[in-house]
Chain A
C-alpha cells in the first residue's frame, strides 16, 4: 500500500526531486517500506548539501520525508501517517574530526555506532552508550531516539554527551548548534531539542560527542534472590555502596532464565574501571549477597530484546523506589521484564499486549510519578495508545510551525490534535 491518495502535485514533486538530486543517489523505494507504508521514492545522498536540497524540494511540493539509516527504531512513536520520500542517510558516514586528547569526536549521522566504537577503541576510548538493539544503531538514530540501556544512570547518556550538531531543515537551511568543546553555553541548545525528537524539527547530519576512556577491566556478576523485592533491595545496596558500577539491573525470573541463569529474581551487575576498583567493588558487593560470575552476553540479550521491533516493548519510567512494584506489574501483564535501577526504568517485552493492559501499566507508572513510553507495538495498538508521555503539545506545535510548517518530516510520529 502506498501512503495516502495520490495528490495532483506528487508527480511534479517526484520529478523535481529526480531533477535536483544526482541519479546515482536514487534507490529502489520498495526496500524502504515501514510497516504498511511504502515510499514513492528513495534517495541515499552522500553529501549534506544534497540532503538540504532534497528537504527543500520535498517541502516545496509537500512531500513527506522519513529520514533513516540503520532502521532499528521504526516502531517508535505513533504510526506514520504519510511517507513519500525515504531519505537514507547511510551515505553520511565520515568521521569528521577526532582528537583523542580532547575526548571529542565529530561524526556524520549515518555512521553506525559499531564503526565509531571501533575507531575510538584504537585510542582506548568509547562513546559510553548502550542503545537498543545493538551497535548497529546509527549516530543520527541514537540522537533522534535518545534511547539508552543498562548504563544509563551510571554513565552520561547520549543527551548528556552531545556537544553540538548540524541539522538540515525543511527550508533547506543547514543549521549548527553547540560546538566541539566539552563545555559550552553559547546560544540555545538546539541539539538537546533534536535529541529524542524523532526527527520532528530537522534531519541530523552530524554530531559531536564527548567520549570517555575505555575501562581497563569489566566484570559481570549475578546474585539470585527469592523475590523481586529482595532482588531490588540487593540492587539498592549495590547502588548505595557507590562502587565502580556501570549497570545494576534487576531481572524477573523469566529473562534470567533466558540469559542462562537459574529462573529466579536476579540482580545483574556490571563493574567497570581499573582492575583495583573492580576488585574492590567485587569484595564490597560480597558483603551483602552471594555473587557468581554473570553471563556477560546477558547484556547484549537484554539490549536486543529491548530493541525488538516485532514485539511489544514498553519502557516504564519509574523512580528507583518503585522499580520493584513496576517490575511486578509488568510481569503480571505477561511481559518479560527487567529494571535498570539507576536509570529508573523497567523494560517490558511481550509478543503482544492489549491496549488496555498498556494503559493500565501507564496509569500505574504515572501514579508512581513515572511514565510509560511504547517503544514498539503493532500499528493498531499504537493508534489506540499514544506512544509518548508528558510534554507540552502547544509548544511542540509552535516549534514545528517554525521549523517544519508543512509537517513533511516523519508525519504522524507526534500526533497533533486538530491536525490531519
Chain B
C-alpha cells in the first residue's frame, strides 16, 4: 500500500508537529510577553496545519480512498449544519473518527480539518477556523493511527470520541482565553473551563451517542466497500 519510509523520517514527521511545536508554545507562554505569545500560537497553528497538509501532498492516495474522504467530509458537514440549532451538538468528531478507523490517518486528518473548513462556510469563518481544523484533524489522524486498536470495538470507539471531544473542548478553551483576554493565565483558563462545562458535557455525550449509533452502519458499509473495491 504505502512505501516503507525510513524510520528517522517517520520519527521526525511525528516529532516536529507533536513535540517541537507544542514546546514552542509552552516556551512562549513563559518566556515571551503575553502579546508575542498570542501571535505565536496563531502562527504555530497555521504552520502545523501547513506542515500536515504538505506532508500529505507527497503521499500517494488511491483515487477511491480520495473520493471516500470527500464523501465523508460532505456527510460530516451536512451533519454539522443540520445539528447547528442544538448548541454543542455536532457529529463531526464521531464521523471523522469512524471514517478514519477504516480509511487511515491521512484521510482522518483531511476529514476532520476540511469538514471544519466547509461547515464554517455556512457557520462563520474566523481565526478559530484554523484552530478547529487542526484540532479535528489531529483527532482524526490519531484515530487512524489507532485503527487496529479501535476497529470494530464499539466501546473503545465511544471512549475515544468522548476523550477526543473533551480534549478538543479544552484546547478550544485555550483559544477562547487568549482571544477574549489577550493573555493566558491559568485562573482565566480555569474559569473558562468551568463556564464551558455544560457545553463540553453536551458535546462529549453527543459524541458518544453519535458514535454508538453510527458504528454499526459504518462497520458494515465501509467494510463491504473496502473488500469490494479493494481499498
Same complex for A and B? Answer no
The interface of chain A, by Cβ under 8 A from chain B, is none
